[in-house]
């Protein structure tokens, strides 16, 4: 078998090395979008804007982060996965330098421009990497998806805390730029491998054909529901702890970090479990765990108990669902259309799901962040119901 994205024969040690590179790229891709939440109070004060305004800007950037995946997946099929990942890393990293202008002028439109540019280039990564893994690591696709997620989560787990202290010490724009430079530096090892990348020449599918696959419709609906609670929680969780649970901002940043830390175990457990018992069962259990975690955060009379329960349950269950969902998506789609399929799925989760940031920001300004999180809990309950309707497809290991 050929590892098509990298153009080398299957060697366990070599594949582990490439998976490590992918894990690092995955971590920096996500890191760019968990810098703002722990610094949100500083950004709001510096730019002199409302939560609704910042939620709207973040919604637009998140929508583009999802929308760009519709181009990123097919682009990976056309020019090669490594080239696409290299472009994604380098150009998203360069885009962070616009934050310097935003901080110097204290203009929201420059902050929005920086976020949008970062999101547009970063959007190419996920469908490309997922398509590569699903085609090149057969036999244990879900576990490999989980290990890829572990690499991403391990790298990003300290980002909120590091970003917070960088922002406090040097100004919030420098937190973005620090991680942008790391993205650019990581692009260099990928660039060295460009000559080894080759196109496999298969007929490619289209975005329209993906939506015609009825077997994917229930999975697409679940993806939208997951995005609708995920994006709101991602942006407002630290601020919720500060304003509604009376936690200081440094501790709130650490709590966000602990959610990501729990996700490291969740990624690995979700991948292993999906290979053993099937993705559908893992998705049902993880959606249920997410609902219980949100209920604990919102309704526990002892705040610290609710926060701790949320960190553990949401952190483990949210990240455990990802390898199961990504693997099931691959099992249900033909290989020649996989890049397009993963692009559509990333869009429905991160793009359509970004609407929740707009809604949560509006509800927070009009009522309170508690009301915003009640809505996010409703979306999580819908996701649980949808998970019960999924097909139970397993990997065909007879190849």
User: At which residue do the structure tokens 């510096």 appear?
Assistant: 46
Closest CA to 330 of 379, 271, 260: 271
Give the pLDDT of residue 1. Answer: 31
Largest distance between two CA atoms of the chain: 60
DSSP string, 352-377: GGGHHHHHHHHHHHHT-HHHHHHHHH
> What's the token pair of residue 382?
């819908």
Q: Exposed, middle or buried: residue 195 (CB in 10 Å: 0-12, 13-18, 19+)?
A: exposed
Query: What contacts 208, CB < 8 A, 6 or more positions away?
Result: none
Are 197 and 5 in contact by the 8 Å Cβ rule? The answer is yes
Q: At what angle do helices 172-191 and 159-170 cross, to 10 degrees?
A: 130
Phi, then psi, of 2 in degrees rounded to 5: -110, 135
The reported pLDDT for the residue numbered 205 is 56
How many other CB atoms are found less than 10 A from the CB of residue 370?
14
Token pair belonging to 314: 């949401």
Using DSSP's 3-state secondary structure scheme, residue 211 falls into: helix
What span, in angstroms and rounded, lies between the C-alpha atoms of 335 and 203?
A: 10
Compute the chain's Rg from CA coordinates. 20
In Å, how far are 242, 243, 250, 251, 304 from 246, measured between CA atoms?
5, 6, 12, 10, 10
C-alpha to C-alpha distance for 71 and 173, rounded to whole angstroms: 29
> What gap in Å lies between CA 27 and CA 18, rounded to an integer?
14
Of residues 205, 181, 172, the one with CA closest to residue 73: 205
pLDDT at 283: 96
- The continuous run of DSSP H or E covering 56 comes out as helix 51-67
Q: HSE-up of 398 (CA within 13 Å, CB side)?
A: 1
> CATH says 9-192+206-387 is which class?
mainly alpha
Separation of alpha carbons 211 and 220, rounded Å: 9
What's the confidence (pLDDT) of residue 395?
61
- Write out the H or E segment, with its range, that includes residue 217: helix 217-244
Sign of the torsion angle spanned by Cα atoms 213, 219, 222, 224: negative
Label residues 29-49 b or e (16+ Cβ within 10 Å = b): bbbbbbbbbbbbbbbeebbeb
As a whole number of Å, the end-to-end CA separation of the chain is 10
- What does pLDDT average to in each consecutive run of 10 residues of the chain (399 residues)? 38 60 86 89 91 86 85 79 88 96 92 95 89 74 81 76 91 95 88 56 62 82 92 88 90 88 89 88 96 97 95 95 88 76 82 82 90 96 95 64
Q: For 200, which DSSP code?
A: -
In sequence order, the β-bridge partners of residue 8 are 3
């Amino acid at each position: 078998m050929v590892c098509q994205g990298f153009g080398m024969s299957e060697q366990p040690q070599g594949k582990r090395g490439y998976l490590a590179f992918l894990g690092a790229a995955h971590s920096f891709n996500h890191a760019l979008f968990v810098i703002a939440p722990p610094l949100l109070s500083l950004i709001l004060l510096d730019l002199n804007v409302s939560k609704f305004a910042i939620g709207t800007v973040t919604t637009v950037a998140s929508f583009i982060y999802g929308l760009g995946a519709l181009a990123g997946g097919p682009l990976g099929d056309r020019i090669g996965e490594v080239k696409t990942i290299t472009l994604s890393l380098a150009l998203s990293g360069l885009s962070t330098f616009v934050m310097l202008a935003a901080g110097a002028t204290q203009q929201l439109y420059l902050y929005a421009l920086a976020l949008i540019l970062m999101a547009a280039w970063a959007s190419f990564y996920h469908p490309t990497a997922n398509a590569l893994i699903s085609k090149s690591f057969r036999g244990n696709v879900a576990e490999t998806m989980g290990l890829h997620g572990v690499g991403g989560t391990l790298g990003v787990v300290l980002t909120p805390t590091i970003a917070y202290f960088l922002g406090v010490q040097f100004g919030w724009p420098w937190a973005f730029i620090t991680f942008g430079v790391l993205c650019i530096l990581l692009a260099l090892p990928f660039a060295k491998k460009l000559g080894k990348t080759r196109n496999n020449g298969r007929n490619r599918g289209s975005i329209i054909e993906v939506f015609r696959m009825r077997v994917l419709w229930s999975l697409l609906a679940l993806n939208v529901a997951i995005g609708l609670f995920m994006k709101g929680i991602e942006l407002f969780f630290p601020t919720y702890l500060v304003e509604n649970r009376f936690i200081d901002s440094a501790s709130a940043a650490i709590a966000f970090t602990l959610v990501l830390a729990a996700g490291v175990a969740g990624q690995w457990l979700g991948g292993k479990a999906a290979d053993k018992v099937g993705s559908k069962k893992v998705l049902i259990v993880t959606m249920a765990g997410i609902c219980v975690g949100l209920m604990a955060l919102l309704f526990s009379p002892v705040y610290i108990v609710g926060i701790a329960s949320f960190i553990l349950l949401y952190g483990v269950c949210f990240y455990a669902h990802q390898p199961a969902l990504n693997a099931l998506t691959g099992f249900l789609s033909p290989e020649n259309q996989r890049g397009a399929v993963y692009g559509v799925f990333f869009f429905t989760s991160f793009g359509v799901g970004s609407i929740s940031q707009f809604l949560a920001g509006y509800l927070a300004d009009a009522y309170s962040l508690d009301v915003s999180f009640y809505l996010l809990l409703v979306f999580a309950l819908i996701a649980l119901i949808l998970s019960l309707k999924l097909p139970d497809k397993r990997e065909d290991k007879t190849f």
